[in-house]
């Protein structure tokens, strides 16, 4: 989807800019993240096949904020999301009742 591709491209560009601002090569970042330099290249080009966990790891390593939050805020945001999820049904099933809302 176009929005997904745009988001991946944006994150890749942010990671590339932050890496360059630190004066790191792609190989430097790859070593810190534990991947090959060509994987960092794919990530920075916005290829959507790079694992999301790897993209987040690279972002954290170079200091790119995730979800508009600083690194220290993420645990509280994750806890709030888990609390919200706990209030929702464990399973979602299709309703057998057909609602006629054509007034």
Distance CA 74, CA 64 (A): 13
Q: What is the CATH number of the domain that holds 28?
A: 1.10.260.40
- In this structure, is residue 59 part of a structural domain? yes
pLDDT digits (tens, 9 = 90+) for 8-36: 999 999 999 999 999 999 999 999 999 99
- In this structure, is residue 51 part of a structural domain? yes
Supply the pLDDT for residue 82.
Answer: 93
- In this structure, is residue 41 part of a structural domain? yes
Q: What is the residue range of 77's domain?
A: 2-86
- Number of Cβ within 10 Å of residue 101's Cβ equals 5
Q: Structural domain tally of the chain?
A: 1
What Rg do the C-alpha atoms of the chain give, in angstroms?
19
pLDDT digits (tens, 9 = 90+) for 32-82: 999 999 999 999 999 999 999 999 999 999 999 998 888 789 899 999 999
């Amino acid at each position: 989807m176009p929005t997904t591709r745009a988001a991946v491209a944006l994150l890749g560009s942010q990671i590339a800019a932050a890496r360059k601002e630190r004066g790191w090569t792609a190989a430097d970042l790859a070593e810190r993240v534990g991947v090959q330099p060509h994987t960092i290249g794919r990530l920075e080009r916005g290829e959507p096949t790079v694992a999301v966990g790897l993209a987040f790891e690279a972002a954290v390593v170079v200091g790119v904020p995730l979800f508009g939050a600083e690194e220290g805020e993420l645990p509280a945001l994750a806890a709030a999301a888990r609390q919200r999820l706990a209030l929702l049904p464990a399973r979602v099933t299709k309703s057998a009742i057909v609602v006629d809302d054509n007034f």
